[in-house]
Amino acid sequence: KKEVRLDNVSFSYRGGEHFSIEGMNLLIPAGKTTAIAGPSGAGKSTVADLVMGLVKPDKGHLSVDGTVISDKINLWRDQIGYVAQETFLFNESIRFNLLLAHPDAGEDELIEVLKLSASYDFVNKLPDKMDTVIGDRGVRLSGGEKQRLALARALLRKPSLLIMDEATSNLDSKNEKKILKAIDALHGEITILMIAHRFSTIKNADFIYMVNDGNILESGTWDKFARK
């Protein structure tokens, strides 16, 4: 688990005049769950891209455990587990999909991440368990099951930072709860960044940043926002 910060970061897209981030300060403390909330177009994905080093700040910097990340960006990216709305699972076996993240993982590690992601039970019910082929060529998984597998895959490399980028926004509340429960159980073990437009998704975050138009409008704990 690592502490990640954006310090005084400014950023704008080339050719995009209407949207910019100016002097953003964002702290994602080690082992805590930090959330970024805001409507569509607020800049949440852009902030995630800055945190991952996928885009470079025009001003300011990204730092991890106090070290500015500018050149060794690939080393940083390798430490991030990323789960998005789209799961990017292949129409291959569950084992194949997991091993893509970490080809050397042993059976016990696969089982561990299936358990951590609340996937273990449904995988065990599949005809060939971990060797069951999913997707067009095999068994159809529900949206919730796919997301849990995507989470399992993200956890396999023992990330220092786990980013859940609208990872539950396509799910109904029952399926969302299963994932959020798994995320809660990881609390303290991994630094977590949750990104969501739906406010209820981030109820259990330690600290929330509300963003719009590239700005942090307000930040604080859930209580502060729930009171309004």
Site for ligand ADP, rule CB under 6 A: 13, 16, 19, 27-29, 32, 34, 38, 40-46, 206-207, 219-220
Q: How far is the CB of 26 from ligand ADP (least distance, A)?
A: 7
Instruction: Please identify, using beta-carbon distances, which residue of 126 and 196 lies nearer to ligand ADP.
Output: 196
Instruction: Please identify, using beta-carbon distances, which residue of 94 and 171 lies nearer to ligand ADP.
Output: 171
Element (H, E) at 211: strand 207-212
Q: How far is the CB of 46 from ligand ADP (least distance, A)?
A: 3
CA gap 127, 146 in Å, rounded: 17
Instruction: Please identify, using beta-carbon distances, which residue of 117 and 219 lies nearer to ligand ADP.
Output: 219
Alpha-helical segments (H) within the chain: 44-52, 73-77, 94-99, 107-116, 120-125, 143-155, 173-185, 222-226
Q: How far is the CB of 186 from ligand ADP (least distance, A)?
A: 16
Give Cα 94 to chain centroid, integer Å.
20
Tokens in use for 206?
């330690």
Instruction: Please identify, using beta-carbon distances, which residue of 3 and 109 lies nearer to ligand ADP.
Output: 3
Q: How far is the CB of 101 from ligand ADP (least distance, A)?
A: 24
Q: How far is the CB of 195 from ligand ADP (least distance, A)?
A: 7
With CA atoms as reference, report the closest residue to 101 among 151, 161, 50.
151
- Label residue 123 left, alpha or beta by phi (over 0 means left) and psi (-120 to 50 means alpha): alpha
Instruction: Please identify, using beta-carbon distances, which residue of 29 and 138 lies nearer to ligand ADP.
Output: 29
